[in-house]
Amino acid sequence: MKIENIHYSDHAKELINSFPKGILLLTKYKENINIMTIGWCLLGYMWNRPIFQTIIRTSRFTFNLIGKSKNFSVNVPLKDKMKEEILFCGTNSGIDINKIKKCRFTISNSQLIDSPIISNCDLFLECKVIAKLPIENINGDNSHENLSDNHFHMMYYGEIVLSYIKGGNR
């Protein structure tokens, strides 16, 4: 796979426009790898560093892995491809199913972190977790579907240590 290193903001528009459609986060701890569809994301600059923020529910398999690995890759398919795979990875747990095998993903080593990338995607961010913040319901209203079972979320701040795009997508 031919890749080109880019500045994290070079394709910010494509990245941000992909959030509502879902993008793929991959994390690895020891031999455990999990892929999760994410859509609650922010791209920005904090503490003099480029930052990718995402929110993960504390009951998810990915929550346990990312808490131990302290790194993750962000994998973005461009041109509206991989819709079925994004849906599948967002509705199935990696505890029960090998999502890599089921979706026929090709996994490649990342360059600076332990969590690999999904080569089937086009745009990649390698992130190291530098902070996390629990998201708690402060108004006592648990009627929202994402808060109804008291499983709240953790916001992860990942420093973008490297970003690149697959050749031909620039």
Domains of the chain: 3-165 (2.30.110.10)
Cα–Cα nearest to 85, from 127, 35, 124:
35
Q: Are 154 and 133 in contact (CB under 8 A)?
A: yes
Distance CA 106, CA 142 (A): 40
Q: Which two tokens stand for residue 52?
A: 């990718």
Q: What is the pLDDT along the chain (170 residues), one digit of tens a residue?
A: 799 999 999 999 999 999 999 999 999 999 999 999 999 999 999 999 999 999 999 889 999 999 999 999 999 999 878 999 999 999 999 998 999 999 999 999 999 999 999 999 999 999 999 999 998 766 665 555 555 555 688 999 999 999 999 986 65
